[in-house]
Amino acid sequence: MVYKSLLIDPHFGHPNLFGAWREIKRYAHRIDADAWSNKGVSFGLLGKFERAVECFETAIRIDASNAPAWYNKGMTQKVLRRNDEAETALARARELGYQE
């Protein structure tokens, strides 16, 4: 699944991910749950797992039925060895219909 929020205009003017996020930071209140979830995935890929969890939690606050955000939060919690929190998040993702 490709989220529209991941598609960055090539004329945006930022050659890197962090530059793009800094640029849109002032618009963060407008970004939907999928965008926050995608941002969490980006931080996870960069090894910034604490930041990733924060993004997934923001996505969940915006849309508590966002199964991919719950799943990604759970998997990231596993990386951080927070097994109880991970299992809770993964169980919620499954309740919402997420299939691995």
Domain ranges in the chain are 32-100
Q: Who wins on pLDDT, 18 or 65?
A: 65
Segment of 21-30, 33-42, 45-54 carrying the highest mean pLDDT: 45-54
pLDDT band at 34 (very low <50, low <70, confident <90, very high): confident
Instruction: Let me know how long the chain is.
Output: 100
C-alpha–C-alpha distance, residues 36 and 62, integer Å: 9
Q: In which band, very low, low, confident or very high, does the pLDDT at 15 lie, cut at 50, 70 and 90?
A: low
**What is the CATH superfamily name and number for domain 32-100?**
Tetratricopeptide repeat domain (1.25.40.10)
CA atoms within 13 A on the CB side of 47: 0
